[in-house]
Amino acid sequence: MQRIDDGMGDRNTDADRRIAQDDEVERLRHTLDEEQQRHLRLRADFDNARRRASRELEAARRDGQRGALLPLLPVLDSLERALAAGSTDQDFYEGVAATHRLFVNALHEAGADPIDAIGQRFDPKVHEAVATLPSGSVEPGFVVREVRRGWRLGDELLRASQVVVAAPREAAGSWR
């Protein structure tokens, strides 16, 4: 009994040591797991932050461009209205028309291009309807008339076109 007990005691200390080692290994493994998880998370966070930062940088650049270009568009609108009104002075008219071309080219170089509207199917993503008009020749839902030209900046909308949309005969209304 006694010996066996002693033997057991030896084995116990052995076992104790092994258990303690196992515990330590388990603890370290757990810590490692945790740290790896944290590391992964941090890397993911960093990755997300970097991606977002580059996206935000791009957005900020676009915002800056928009801010610079948008106020110029009404000036162009007026120039176009002047051309539409015409002039009896042919030379003066030519000069204004040439100025207008310069303006449009300058916008193009800055990355802005006009949006097609007339004859297109009305698309609220780029067109803003200001009125509807029953039309015999144009299919309902298509743009009859462009009131103000729309512009895009790259593949983003800079300013929606303002358009009149062909309506079926009954309804020609205005909202607001």
Binding-residue pattern over the window 45 to 84 for another protein, x denoting contact by CB under 8 A: ---x--xx------x--xx--------------x--xx-x
Of 2-10, 14-22, 25-33, 123-131, which segment contacts another protein by CB under 8 A?
123-131
Nearest residue to 79 (alpha-carbon basis) of 130, 146, 148? 148
Residue 100 CB, nearest distance to another protein (Å)? 13
DSSP summary character for residue 86 = -
Nearest residue to 73 (alpha-carbon basis) of 174, 3, 145, 162? 162
Contact (CB, 8 A) for 162 and 145? no
Decide: helix, strand or coil at residue 21.
helix
- Residue closer to another protein (CB basis): 36 or 48: 48
At a CB cut-off of 8 Å and minimum separation 6, what does 113 contact? 107, 151, 152
What residues numbered 137-166 form the site for another protein, per CB under 8 A?
Answer: 141, 147-148, 156-157, 160, 162, 165
By CB under 8 A, name the binding residues for another protein.
48, 51-52, 59, 62-63, 78, 81-82, 84-85, 122, 124-125, 127-132, 141, 147-148, 156-157, 160, 162, 165, 167, 173-175
